[in-house]
């Protein structure tokens, strides 16, 4: 589930999306300020290791 929308301004530490694994929910947190440019997955998708889930472009 996405916590931030497409083209949303996000700040360092903000939740971008939540992943569910083994019936536990894990938040994906942005490491810097920026803009959400793209989500590469949809709600309900299964994801593999080392796959880009969301693209955030930093400010500046």
For 4, the token pair is 């931030």
In the 8-state DSSP scheme, what is residue 4? S
- What pLDDT shows up at residue 59? 81
Higher-confidence position of 5 and 21 = 21
Closest CA to 56 of 19, 21, 40: 40
Whether 31 and 10 have beta carbons less than 8 Å apart is answered as no
13-52 pLDDT per residue, tens: 999 988 898 889 999 999 999 999 998 988 888 999 999 9
């Amino acid at each position: 589930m996405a916590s931030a929308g497409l083209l949303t301004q996000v700040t360092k530490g903000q939740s971008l999306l939540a992943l569910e694994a083994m019936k536990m929910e894990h938040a994906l947190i942005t490491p810097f300020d920026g803009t959400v440019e793209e989500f590469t997955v949809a709600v309900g998708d299964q994801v593999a290791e080392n796959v880009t889930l969301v693209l955030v472009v930093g400010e500046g």
